Amino acid sequence: MLAIGEKIKELRLASGWSQGDLTTRVLVSRQSVSKWENNITVPDIEKLVDLSELFDVSLDELILSKTDNVLHENEDAIAVDDETPYRALKRMLWIQTLLLLVMIIGIAWLFFT
């Protein structure tokens, strides 16, 4: 029985992709892919849908074991990946705000000196 992470790794390798290739296709960090493949975390539901479409497999095939169709026994021990689109958007907003603040201070400094 394959865990979700092992299945993701198997599908990625069958596609001939590196972890970096997969990160650009599903818009996550390389660390997230590594954690998935090592069964430390599992992708959130949106990423699972993206992965199933990307690899052209059903969600059942991606999530469930092909042999006996039961969820991986260690699912309670695996944390859901926290790299959500909302969190990434929030991080980008903070970065943009800081850059805008630096620009305003720079313009004010040039104007008043």
Reported as a single tens digit per residue, the pLDDT across 42-83 is: 999 999 999 999 999 998 888 885 544 444 444 555 555 555
SS3 8: helix
Measure the CA dihedral 56/61/63/65, to 10°. -150
* From 8-17, 31-40, 61-70, 92-101, the region with the lowest mean pLDDT: 61-70
Q: What Å distances lie between residue 87 and 64, 83, 84, 90, CA to CA?
A: 28, 6, 5, 5
State the pLDDT at residue 94: 92
